[in-house]
Structure 1
Amino acid sequence: MEIRSEEVLLPVSAVSAFPRPHWLQGRVFGSQYEPTYRSHNVRVAYEDASKIVAREQELAGLDILCDGAQYYEWEAPGFQLEPIFHYIPEMLGGIANYGPPGDGAKYKPFYKGTVNGKVEWVRPIFEGVVYAMQNATDRPFKVAFLGPAQQSIILDDQHYGDGVELAKDIARALNKELHFLQDMGLEAVQLIDVLPPYTQDMWQIECQEILFEGINMIKFWHVCYGSVDGQRDVFDDHAAGMMPLFAASPVDVIHLEFTNKNFSELDAFGNFPADKVLGVGVVDAKNTIVESADQIADRIQRALKIIPPDRLLVAPDCGLGYFSRTTAYAKLRNMGEAAKQVRIGL
């Protein structure tokens, strides 16, 4: 995989979230009509937390860092979906910050933002994230966010009457955001998506094409099986059915959970598109037991039987934000050590 014009064999990255330090509490960024930060003290705390996240990833030997989602309230048990669902809609025009409860018992505590007009980009969304990480590290890093297809189905549409058109306008708005971040110097971006296991309709790819038009960053797509409080949403194997989506996607790296599913879908990736890198989850993001470097190395070797090392990226199954800092960073360090061991043997 090419990173900063150099080929990196068996690159290592994380997915998105890491636990926050105990001294960073509550919401960090304001919504659309507020200042970027809720207070100067919150800004200092957030930027300090970003430095810790960056340093831990550097020590673990990661090739592309992630922002760690330190602006999300991971310490609120059972309610971590609140900021994931609402952070982007609260910053876009055409969406009101209220609406009916979510669908089903798991999502009922989280209201749906109400779409009452044309969705538009009106101000930077992740500017503070990029600025904080640029001041925390000189290594390449990615910003992760919920994608337009996924975002569209968790909103209460009172304007479009057409979910696909809503998703496409979200993609257009986020494309403007990505151009803004690209101008800031952001080198990588990660789409987070729970939708593909449920439907393989190709309009999702049309949204990605709009989202990434003119974007020259490294583009990741994390197909999430769910991990809130260690609970998975997807139990069946859908990888084979998702392969046409993967082939048509404009992204560079597609990442999925493998370890918690005991690599049950691995054989399907014999048909993985040859022009893309596969991110393989080799650390369990739902189990508090810290795997040894040798255990993780065995998982990497298992994946290498299907995907060659120049097209395989090592990562956890999902974000590690729900763990304690001790557990999350121990898993991260052992993952980095495992990748180093496997590289030596190649």
Structure 2
Amino acid sequence: MPLPTHLLPTTVVGSYPQPDWLVDREMLSKSVPRTRMTEIWRIPEAHLEQAQDDATVVAIRDLERAGIDIVTDGEIRRESYSNRFATALEGVDSENPAMTISRSGLKTPVPRVVGKINRTGPVELRDMEFLRRNTDRAAKITLPGPFTMSQQAKNEFYKDDEELAMAFAAAVNAEALELQKAGADVIQFDEPWVRQDPEAARRYAVKAINRALQGITVPTVLHVCFGYAAVVAGSNKPTGYSFLAELADTSAQQISIEAAQPKLDLGVLADLSSKKIMLGVIDLGDPTVETAAVIADRIRHGLKYVAADRLIPAPDCGMKYMPRHVAFGKLKAMSDAAAIVRKEIS
């Protein structure tokens, strides 16, 4: 489908809340799984795909009703933004995970890379085909970025993490090329880990991202954030990115940033003047639904730093961990806000 031509087209970062009848949200709320977490699904295996399809249609319709211009499938079939793709690759062992300990002392099981990374077949192709069949709006699909996947696994095969990231990049690229053929209007890579280890990111993140983007001709997005509001409290979020200006060197046309909750100083966007900016204007740490007036002010603030033809209003991050009525209300308010500001500038 053609991308919207009006100014300030709205979109989402990717995920939308999964229904309580589909997943155990209490279990989900405790982590962002790196390995498979099949126990979160409430539906028996024999009926799970059908249930996920039904819930995906509900998510797509919610996005459409909220007035979102560029929709996703809500990532309803995923346990996390990254684990479904990462653990589907040959060479990755998620059955016998390694344990990592975060800076906050949290233990997380992560997949071990025990052999050559190889994409043996499509992972998200059916998701994209299903989305394309079920909406006439512009459609975006997301993939975990190669740098982030390399940081979320224990490397027991490649000589170093750079070689691992490049192997993931080749796999992501093969998948993205198929998703493009299946009708993706926009392809997004989620790369939140570039700010976790900016030193490693400076060495090879841009190189890996550009390898993953090779041959993609539809618009591409890089999403960077400070973590889900439900998992990372606002007080723990930095107010600036440690790795952002460097993303100007990637071949992605758009950079998606979290700006509402951390109250980001948008002066940093001067470094990204060659890119379109997907600007986070919905605070996912705020359990109330912001008014269209509040969100319109955030969009106007963004326009002081980014030309209107380069600004795409969006939530800060994925909405997976929110109550669904709140997520819907926030998206509707964002669409209304974009319409208000659009009138002012057209």
Tell me if both proteins adopt one fold, taking TM over 0.5 as the criterion.
yes
- 1:45-104 CA-to-partner distances (Å, cap 9, x unmatched) read 11111111111111222221122110134xxxxxxxxx4453222210111112221222
| Structure 2 residue aligned with 1:295 | 294
Report how far residue 318 of structure 1 moved: 0.7
Contact 1:51 1:137 in 2 (8 A): no
Alpha-carbon separation, structure 2, partners of 1:89 and 1:240: 25
Report how far residue 110 of structure 1 moved: 3.0
Q: Do residues 89 (structure 1) and 86 (structure 2) align?
A: yes
- Pair 1:63–1:38, CA change in 2 (3 A): same
* Greater CA drift, 327-336 or 44-53: 44-53
| Structure 2 residue aligned with 1:120 | 118
SS in 1 for 2:190: strand
Report how far residue 240 of structure 1 moved: 7.5
Alpha-carbon separation, structure 1, partners of 2:218 and 2:243: 27
Report how far residue 129 of structure 1 moved: 1.3
Report how far residue 239 of structure 1 moved: 3.9
SS in 1 for 2:87: helix
- Pair 1:327–1:202, CA change in 2 (3 A): same
Report how far residue 43 of structure 1 moved: 1.9
% identical equivalent positions: 27
Contact 1:240 1:269 in 2 (8 A): no
| Structure 2 residue aligned with 1:182 | 180
- 1:179-238 CA-to-partner distances (Å, cap 9, x unmatched) read 222222222111111223240505111111110111112211110110152515973344
Report how far residue 272 of structure 1 moved: 2.3
Report how far residue 138 of structure 1 moved: 1.5
Report how far residue 300 of structure 1 moved: 0.5
Q: Do residues 277 (structure 1) and 276 (structure 2) align?
A: yes
- Pair 1:221–1:107, CA change in 2 (3 A): farther
Q: Do residues 65 (structure 1) and 77 (structure 2) align?
A: no
- Pair 1:271–1:179, CA change in 2 (3 A): closer
Task: Tell me how large the CA RMSD over aligned residues is.
Answer: 2.3
Contact 2:221 2:255 in 1 (8 A): yes
Alpha-carbon separation, structure 2, partners of 1:213 and 1:102: 32
Gaps of 5+ in 2: 29-35, 37-42
Q: Do residues 242 (structure 1) and 244 (structure 2) align?
A: yes
Equivalent runs, 1:323-334 vs 2, <5 Å: 323-334=322-333
> Could you state the TM-score of these two structures normalised by the residue count of structure 1?
0.87
Amino acid corresponding to residue 267 of structure 2 in structure 1: D
SS in 1 for 2:215: coil
Amino acid corresponding to residue 91 of structure 2 in structure 1: G
Amino acid corresponding to residue 115 of structure 2 in structure 1: G
Alpha-carbon separation, structure 2, partners of 1:170 and 1:239: 24
Alpha-carbon separation, structure 1, partners of 2:261 and 2:23: 30
Report how far residue 22 of structure 1 moved: 2.4
Alpha-carbon separation, structure 1, partners of 2:231 and 2:86: 26
Contact 1:67 1:144 in 2 (8 A): no
Alpha-carbon separation, structure 2, partners of 1:47 and 1:211: 28
Report how far residue 128 of structure 1 moved: 2.5
- Pair 1:84–1:240, CA change in 2 (3 A): closer
| Structure 2 residue aligned with 1:34 | none
> Could you state the TM-score of these two structures normalised by the residue count of structure 2?
0.87
| Structure 1 residue aligned with 2:194 | 196
Alpha-carbon separation, structure 2, partners of 1:141 and 1:94: 31
Amino acid corresponding to residue 232 of structure 2 in structure 1: Q
Alpha-carbon separation, structure 1, partners of 2:233 and 2:81: 16
Alpha-carbon separation, structure 1, partners of 2:128 and 2:55: 13
Q: Give aligned pairs, total.
A: 324
- Pair 1:201–1:207, CA change in 2 (3 A): same
Amino acid corresponding to residue 327 of structure 2 in structure 1: A
Alpha-carbon separation, structure 2, partners of 1:239 and 1:266: 11
Alpha-carbon separation, structure 1, partners of 2:46 and 2:216: 32
Equivalent runs, 1:1-346 vs 2, <5 Å: 4=2, 7-25=5-23, 39=45, 41-73=47-79, 83-97=80-94, 98-104=96-102, 108-198=106-196, 199=198, 200-227=201-228, 229-232=230-233, 235-239=237-241, 242-243=244-245, 245-262=246-263, 264-273=264-273, 275-346=274-345
- Pair 1:341–1:45, CA change in 2 (3 A): same
- Pair 1:332–1:51, CA change in 2 (3 A): same
- 1:7-32 CA-to-partner distances (Å, cap 9, x unmatched) read 331111011111112222379xxx8x
Alpha-carbon separation, structure 1, partners of 2:97 and 2:314: 36
